[in-house]
């Protein structure tokens, strides 16, 4: 058992190698909230969550306010196991799932360090050793050349960000990429909810013929009727991302046949316990599963996604991390992606050492 002694919250922006063009946002650098929690033994745990107004509606100042509020209420509390952490955070504040997920991540990391266990040992049983990572294709001038290089390195899954340009241009991009990359890879498109219903339906109709394997979030997360229509007329599965934040959302998509799979993120579900519960539901309903961070996340988030991915029995739409697009990272030995697979550093908790000088340097 340990006591929560001190919580720090740091707002950072990391450089990206290339600008990311999505339907609703253009990113030139990341924006993440980093959490540092110290216990009464002087041990330190780390957590991270992206500030994403387009995904969760939480801004960095709003997350900081929520974290300060939670900090006041949980400092001095005793933690014995993961159940204590879940109960403490789930009831700490209404909503604010990204803020809560960052604190939860740091507390689980700290629990692992304190109990000399890996993060994954605290949340489940290690089932998979290989963690294929999706390569994101987001509108850079060299996107085809980069994708070919990544395929040759060993990446087996690619996701094209669509919706920032004209519909026919995006369909052509998908067709070209399938031709160049060949049939042996998983190729998907993600509109991040950016198409109007008419364009979403047109894209869905043509998605199979241009060589896509599934199509993610064609319209806004709240428009389940158009999602259902897209899923009905498309010859490939429709995936939900922005539309799924809770078990209720997931159940509704399943019931309405509005999606056949989805992308799950900690910043949406607010806790690892809830996210794993969602994957069990999806597996039971034969839905496809992807676990994902947010564009621009550092190695802290990547380590958590890697550990969660290791314990899931189904992960047929693979995992997304962002460290491969970062110009710099904040941990001393950054995680590696080798042959398109994430290598998770073994150690207690998340098994990472944060470079606090860099953290200071990238502070916003
Ligand atoms: Mg998505």
Domain positions in the chain: 2-118+354-361, 123-343
Average pLDDT over residues 130-145: 90
In the reported structure, the alpha carbon of residue 320 is separated from the centroid of ligand 1 by a whole-number distance in angstroms of 10
In the reported structure, the alpha carbon of residue 2 is separated from the centroid of ligand 1 by a whole-number distance in angstroms of 37
What whole-number distance in Å separates Cα of residue 270 and Cα of residue 291? 14
In the reported structure, the alpha carbon of residue 217 is separated from the centroid of ligand 1 by a whole-number distance in angstroms of 7
Spell out the CATH class of 2-118+354-361: alpha beta
In the reported structure, the alpha carbon of residue 133 is separated from the centroid of ligand 1 by a whole-number distance in angstroms of 14
What whole-number distance in Å separates Cα of residue 133 and Cα of residue 135? 6
The two three-digit tokens of residue 214, written as one number: 């599934």
Q: How confident is the model at residue 42 (pLDDT cuts 50, 70, 90)?
A: very high
* Residues 208-244 pLDDT 10s: 999 999 999 999 999 999 999 999 999 999 999 999 9
pLDDT at residue 140, as a whole number? 82
* Residues 74-120 pLDDT 10s: 999 999 999 999 999 999 999 999 999 999 999 999 999 999 999 99
Q: Does domain 123-343 have CATH number 3.40.50.300?
A: no
In the reported structure, the alpha carbon of residue 334 is separated from the centroid of ligand 1 by a whole-number distance in angstroms of 24
User: Does the pTM exceed 0.85?
Assistant: yes
Average pLDDT over residues 268-292: 96
Average pLDDT over residues 16-29: 75
Whether residue 27 is predicted with pLDDT greater than 80 in this model: the reply is no
* Residues 300-338 pLDDT 10s: 999 999 999 999 999 999 999 988 889 999 999 888 899
In the reported structure, the alpha carbon of residue 348 is separated from the centroid of ligand 1 by a whole-number distance in angstroms of 31
In the reported structure, the alpha carbon of residue 337 is separated from the centroid of ligand 1 by a whole-number distance in angstroms of 21
pLDDT at residue 126, as a whole number? 94
In the reported structure, the alpha carbon of residue 259 is separated from the centroid of ligand 1 by a whole-number distance in angstroms of 13
In the reported structure, the alpha carbon of residue 347 is separated from the centroid of ligand 1 by a whole-number distance in angstroms of 30
Q: How confident is the model at residue 17 (pLDDT cuts 50, 70, 90)?
A: confident
- Bridge partners of 159, per DSSP, are 136, 188
Contacts of 222 (CB under 8 A, 6+ apart): 243
Q: How confident is the model at residue 344 (pLDDT cuts 50, 70, 90)?
A: confident
Largest CA distance in the chain: 59
Contacts of 195-202 with CB under 8 Å at 24 or more apart are: 195/23, 195/163, 195/167, 195/219, 197/223, 197/226, 197/229, 199/167, 200/226, 200/230, 201/226, 201/229, 201/230, 201/233, 202/167
pLDDT at residue 223, as a whole number? 98
**Closest Cα partner for 170 from 277, 23, 314?**
23
Q: Which residues of 36-55 are buried (b: 16+ CB within 10 A; e: fewer)?
A: bbbbeeebbbbbbbbbbeeb
């Amino acid at each position: 058992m340990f006591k929560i002694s001190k919580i720090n919250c740091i707002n950072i922006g990391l450089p990206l190698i290339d600008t990311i063009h999505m339907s609703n946002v253009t990113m030139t650098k990341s924006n993440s909230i980093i959490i540092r929690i110290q216990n009464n033994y002087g041990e330190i745990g780390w957590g991270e969550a992206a500030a994403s107004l387009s995904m969760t509606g939480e801004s960095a100042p709003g997350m900081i306010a929520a974290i300060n509020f939670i900090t006041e209420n949980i400092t001095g509390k005793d933690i014995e196991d993961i159940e204590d952490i879940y109960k403490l955070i789930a009831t700490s504040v209404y909503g604010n799932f990204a803020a809560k997920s960052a604190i939860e991540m740091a507390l689980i990391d700290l629990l692992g360090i304190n109990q000399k266990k890996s993060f994954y040992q605290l949340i489940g049983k290690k089932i998979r050793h290989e963690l294929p990572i999706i390569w994101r294709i987001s509108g850079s001038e060299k996107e085809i050349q980069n994708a070919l290089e990544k395929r040759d390195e060993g990446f087996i899954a690619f996701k094209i960000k669509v919706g920032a340009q004209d519909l026919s241009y995006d369909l052509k991009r998908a067709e070209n990429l399938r031709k160049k990359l060949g049939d042996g890879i998983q190729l998907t498109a993600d509109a991040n909810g950016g198409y109007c219903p008419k364009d979403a339906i047109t894209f869905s109709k043509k998605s199979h013929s241009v060589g896509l394997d599934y199509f993610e979030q064609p319209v806004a997360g709240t428009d389940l009727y158009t999602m259902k229509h897209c899923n009905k007329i498309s010859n490939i599965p429709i995936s939900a991302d922005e539309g799924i934040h809770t078990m209720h959302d997931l159940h509704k998509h399943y019931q309405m046949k509005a999606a056949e799979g989805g992308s799950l993120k900690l910043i949406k579900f607010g806790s690892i316990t809830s996210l794993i519960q969602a994957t069990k539901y999806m597996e039971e309903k034969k839905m496809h599963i992807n676990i994902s961070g947010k564009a621009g996340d550092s190695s802290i988030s990547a380590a958590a996604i890697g550990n969660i991915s290791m314990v899931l029995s189904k992960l047929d739409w693979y995992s997304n991390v962002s460290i491969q697009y970062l110009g710099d990272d904040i941990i001393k030995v950054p995680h590696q992606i080798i042959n398109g697979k994430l290598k998770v550093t073994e150690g207690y908790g998340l098994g990472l050492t944060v470079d606090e000088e860099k953290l200071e340097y990238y502070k916003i």
